[in-house]
């Protein structure tokens, strides 16, 4: 059986004049932050170049005409210019142009490798590889929002943000030299057929980045109880303003028996040097999410099945895919007039390729007769077989 519970908050989104939509969405154990609607602007950079360079031979223009005087109808054959030291020198203008071209190319490469940003929207990490900072305890990576990562409102989707979180987590392990054969598993974990699985995740979104915007993601890990690990993320824009905060709890599972496991001492010795002693970036919400059934749900979507591409290398549905499923049953008026500002996810069982699920949504509280009205809306979701 597969079960995933979630609670989400939607806040109304202010729209520009003439737009009927205005509201944000927030869910679950977390509150949503408001987001302002963005007006799309387009600009074009036009470059026009025109250059002419007449060919030269021995430093003299080629193609010019010279009148030859004839006297007494006798052909006079012009003799070539006398060979001197000056007209046998190379064409210095061509040599100067070549040197200038090489210098400009070298300067361009140097600017690409230089880490200091020249503009606010320039990347500190121009190639998006990421790096470890703060004494090796924090991993930082930049992402540019692609055209295929945005929705109808021209902003990044919640799935895009979660993919960035997952990518930085794996790159952190890889850059630290701890990546074994598994999906984020250390060498000692790989020897014991152990993998990481997420049990709980909280996400707060203050603003969704837009197409072409560059976001900076920081992530770090800390201890969580005796047999867990907490991973936090902080997402900021090019000006350093916070966009998203997220905190998650991970435990180990044996990929053969599919049972949870304690952290072996050898594995603990690998990961503990990278633990950062810090408080969660999101205040932990210990409220247990309720289980929703057909009788208590206000909206139900049945017949959801995983696609082949939904599976990750651990042979189960990737945790990012669940967010799409739990929102499948959310009322369209809410999705159209609000933005998801907060969500708390509990992963209770894993989902395989042969699972058939249903998504259930219940509106928390009362007074939501007109779902398009401005104001915060809180929903409870459940996805299970």
Q: How many C-beta atoms lie closer than 10 Å to residue 150's C-beta?
A: 19
CA pair distance 7, 365, nearest whole angstrom: 13
Residues 6 or more apart whose Cβ sits within 8 Å of residue 294: 300, 360
The closest of 217, 222, 218 to 276, measured between CA atoms, is: 222
CA pair distance 166, 194, nearest whole angstrom: 18
172 an active-site residue? no
Q: Do 23 and 11 meet the contact criterion of CB atoms below 8 Å apart?
A: yes
- Angle at alpha carbon of residue 342, lines to 336 and 345, rounded to 5°: 110
- Select which of 164, 318, 338, 351 is catalytic: 351
DSSP 186-227: -HHHHHTTEEEEEEEEEEEES-PPBTT-EEEEEEEEEEETTT
- How far is CA 9 from its chain centroid? 22
Q: Is 264 exposed, middle or buried (0-12, 13-18, 19+ CB in 10 A)?
A: middle
Collapse the DSSP code of 105 into the 3-class scheme (helix H, G, I; strand E, B; otherwise coil) and give the result. Answer: helix
351 an active-site residue? yes
The closest of 90, 24, 101 to 57, measured between CA atoms, is: 90
- Select which of 164, 172, 216, 316 is catalytic: 316
Collapse the DSSP code of 291 into the 3-class scheme (helix H, G, I; strand E, B; otherwise coil) and give the result. Answer: coil
What is the rounded end-to-end Cα distance, in angstroms, of the chain?
6
Which residues are marked as active site? 314, 316, 351
């Amino acid at each position: 059986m597969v079960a995933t519970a979630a609670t989400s908050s939607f806040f109304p989104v202010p729209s520009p004049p003439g737009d009927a939509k205005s509201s944000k969405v927030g869910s679950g154990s977390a509150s949503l932050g408001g987001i302002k609607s963005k007006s799309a602007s387009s600009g074009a950079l036009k470059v026009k170049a025109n250059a002419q360079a007449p060919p030269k031979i021995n430093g003299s223009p080629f193609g010019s005409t010279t009148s030859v005087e004839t006297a007494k109808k006798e052909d006079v054959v012009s003799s070539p210019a006398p060979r001197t030291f000056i007209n046998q020198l190379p064409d210095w203008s061509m040599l100067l142009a070549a040197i200038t071209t090489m210098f400009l190319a070298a300067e361009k490469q140097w600017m690409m490798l230089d880490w200091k940003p020249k503009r606010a929207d320039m990347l500190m990490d121009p190639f998006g590889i990421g790096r470890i900072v703060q004494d090796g305890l924090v991993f930082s990576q930049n992402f540019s929002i692609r055209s295929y990562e945005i929705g109808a409102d021209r902003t990044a989707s919640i799935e895009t943000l979660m993919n960035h979180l997952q990518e930085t987590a794996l790159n952190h392990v890889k850059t630290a030299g701890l990546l074994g054969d598994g999906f984020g598993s250390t060498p000692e974990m790989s020897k014991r057929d152990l993998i990481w699985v997420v049990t709980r995740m909280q996400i707060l979104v203050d603003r969704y980045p837009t197409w072409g915007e560059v976001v900076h993601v920081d992530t770090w890990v800390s201890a969580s109880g005796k047999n867990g690990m907490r991973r936090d993320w902080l997402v900021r824009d090019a000006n350093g303003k916070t966009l998203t905060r997220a905190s998650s709890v991970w435990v180990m599972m044996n990929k053969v028996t599919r049972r949870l496991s304690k952290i072996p001492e050898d594995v603990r010795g690998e990961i503990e040097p990278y633990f950062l002693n810090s408080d969660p970036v999101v205040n932990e919400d210990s409220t247990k999410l309720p289980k929703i059934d057909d009788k208590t749900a206000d909206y139900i979507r049945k017949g959801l099945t995983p696609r082949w591409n939904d599976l990750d290398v651990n042979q189960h549905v990737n945790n990012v895919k669940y967010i799409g499923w739990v929102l499948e049953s959310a009322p369209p008026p809410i999705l159209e007039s609000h933005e998801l500002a907060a969500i708390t996810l509990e992963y209770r069982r894993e989902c395989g390729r042969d699972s058939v699920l249903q998504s259930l949504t219940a509106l928390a509280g009362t007074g939501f007769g007109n779902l398009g009205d401005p104001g915060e809306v809180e929903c409870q979701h459940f996805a299970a077989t």
